[in-house]
Amino acid sequence: MKLPIYLDYAATTPVDARVAEKMMQFLTMDGEFGNPASRSHRFGWQAEEAVEIARSQIAELVNADPREIVFTSGATESNNLAIKGAADFYRKKGKHLITVKTEHKATLDTMRQLEREGYEVTYLEPQTDGLITVAMLEAAIRPDTSVVSVMFVNNEIGVVQDIAAIGELCRSKGIIFHVDAAQAAGKLDIDLQALKVDLMSFSGHKAYGPKGIGALFVRRKPRIRLEAQMHGGGHERGMRSGTLPTHQIVAMGEAFRLAKLEMHDEIKRITALRDRLINGVKDIEQVFLNGNREHRVPHITNISFNYVEGESLIMALKDIAVSSGSACTSASLEPSYVLRALGMSDELAHSSIRFSIGRYTTEAQIDHTIKIVHQAIEKLRAMSPLWDMYKDGVDLNTVAWVAH
Amino acid sequence: MAYSNKVIDHYENPRNVGSFDKDDASVATGMVGAPACGDVMKLQIKVNAEGIIEDAKFKTYGCGSAIASSSLVTEWVKGKSLDEAQQIKNTDIAQELALPPVKIHCSILAEDAIKAAIADYKQKHGG
């Protein structure tokens, strides 16, 4: 078996070979390298046509109108544009925003910036299963609430929020509703004709497209307005200036087209692999699956191995590429803020690993992973003073630790 | 994060993992750190009648650098008198293992573990 095994698809996916093939046709002199904004010659017209086809492909995956898709550099930019753009445009309505503590940093840091600019933000604390309820949101809504932002699929634990119900509530109150769907597109069915979502962020590289490209859905009916955050040539209906990267857009379009075609088969296959992984490790003592069991995507599985520290576990799983928390935070020594927001203790949060499965994961890879996890847990627990204490019946909460 | 070869060696082949009977009069235990911080080190030393550390064992919950730091100090304290062991500095540990700045706390914890074990020994034996 080829090592290491990649089980970090939630951090990024490889570009599908079919997508890369398509992308390469839009770069060189022999290809269609033109600027889609060039109106005076064929090079521009062809590039523009390619961009519009891709725009339709993206819209089709989520049942939206192509005119509702705005290209950005990625989901981080989409989140920034959606939240800042809507908060700015609708600031006369109010300066109160609502989001959730377990959102991606691209949302949380955007909210923090808006707080510095004089907005007030409420951060909802999810239940211990990672979900928020409509009642929680309703209780936080004020007359001056202008924007609510909730992610579709959590990037660390994979839970799926009830976007349909949250959308109904926001629409009934006349509040703009933004959804970060970076981890959701191509992983579950999204129907923007049915969902009362006003703004939705997408990423290319989480769905077998390239990095550096994303999109923002901006609803036309009822029409949502945004204050542009990037100024220039007035591209993308004035919402996002900057020359469109044709090759990346075409690639994202192709990736989303393939997702629409293959998503349902892929979900079945990945669910089977996920179940195989969970069944393979669930008999280890003191192992916990994090997040709601039912409302989740199969791609992301977050497991706590109590009394084993996450970073050393990742080191022990050296031929398996997994992460503790999201890639954006794994350089820090802090335990995952997402797991902490679920009310999990620091030590259990420190002991958690995210396994994310994708298009190229095989049964043999999962079986190898299970074997390595068993070996690693055994080795590290044999070395863990906490494990000894647990086995001796010591309640770790009653120990007077000498913190440093 | 890339680990130094020495950290990887100690992590993959940790020296002196285990425990002594804590009720044995010649054994002293130092346990430092906290689960909430992501590191707990337990260092045990066995001291002979001449006051020389003749054996040492550790158990550590923590990252690779924490495990390597504790593994290294079990090697270093063996054969030393309590006073000599007391002189081991976290900077020496960090240097030996080429710890990056974010992992310096692991070497500090290892030094603390030695000092805690020595203090435990002195307390057991009337100061």
Q: How far apart are CA A356 and CA A374, in angstroms?
A: 18
pLDDT tens-digit series, residues B58-81: 999 998 999 999 999 999 999 999
Bridge partners (DSSP) of residue A123 are: A99
Q: Determine which one of A140, A267, A272, A328 is catalytic.
A: A328
Q: How far apart are CA A256 and CA A215, in angstroms?
A: 11
How many angstroms separate the CA of residue B18 from the nearest CA in chain A?
7
Q: How far apart are CA B80 and CA B23, in angstroms?
A: 22
pLDDT tens-digit series, residues A39-51: 999 999 999 999 9
Given a cut of 50, the residues of chain A with pLDDT beneath it are 326-332
State the Cα angle at A185 between A67 and A303, rounded to 5°: 160
B56 pLDDT higher than 60? yes
How many angstroms separate the CA of residue A309 from the nearest CA in chain B?
5
How many angstroms separate the CA of residue B97 from the nearest CA in chain A?
16
* Look-up of token digits 């260092």: B43
Mean pLDDT of B33-39: 87
B127 pLDDT higher than 70? no
Sign of CA dihedral A265, A266, A269, A270: negative
Question: Is-catalytic flag, A170?
Answer: no
Tell me which chain B residues have a C-beta less than 8 angstroms from the C-beta of A346: 35-38
pLDDT at A402: 75
DSSP, collapsed to helix, strand or coil, labels residue A115 as helix
Interface of B with A (CB under 8 A): 1, 3, 11, 14, 17, 19, 31-42, 59-64, 66-67, 102, 105, 108-109, 112, 116
Contact state of B102 with A333 under an 8 Å Cβ cutoff: yes
Question: Is-catalytic flag, B63?
Answer: no
Q: How far apart are CA B111 and CA B114, in angstroms?
A: 5
The torsion region of residue A51 among left (phi > 0), alpha (psi -120 to 50) and beta comes to alpha
Tell me which chain A residues have a C-beta less than 8 angstroms from the C-beta of B39: 309, 404
Q: Determine which one of B94, B106, B114, B117 is catalytic.
A: B106
Domain B5-121 has CATH 3.30.70.360: no
Q: How far apart are CA A99 and CA A121, in angstroms?
A: 7
Size of interface A-B (CB pairs under 8 A): 86
pLDDT at A403: 65
Contact state of A383 with B14 under an 8 Å Cβ cutoff: yes
pLDDT at A327: 43
Structure tokens at B89: 């500095």
3-state percent helix, strand, coil for chain A, nearest multiple of 5: 40, 15, 45
Chain A nearest-CA residue for B105:
A404
Chain A nearest-CA residue for B39:
A309
How many angstroms separate the CA of residue A331 from the nearest CA in chain B?
7
Q: Determine which one of B37, B38, B51, B122 is catalytic.
A: B37
**What domains are there in chain A, each with its CATH number?**
5-10+264-398 (3.90.1150.10), 17-259 (3.40.640.10)
CB A128 within 8 A of CB A269: no
Rg (CA), chain B: 14
Interface of A with B (CB under 8 A): 307-312, 315, 331, 333, 335, 345-347, 350, 382-388, 396, 401-404
Sign of CA dihedral A35, A39, A41, A47: positive
pLDDT at A398: 83
* Look-up of token digits 């992973």: A369
B122 pLDDT higher than 80? yes
State the Cα angle at A265 between A217 and A292, rounded to 5°: 70
Global pTM value: 0.92
> Could you tell me the residue ranges of all domains in chain B?
5-121
Q: How far apart are CA A370 and CA A385, in angstroms?
A: 24
Contact state of A350 with B35 under an 8 Å Cβ cutoff: yes
Q: Cis peptide before A4, with omega less than 30 degrees from 0?
A: yes
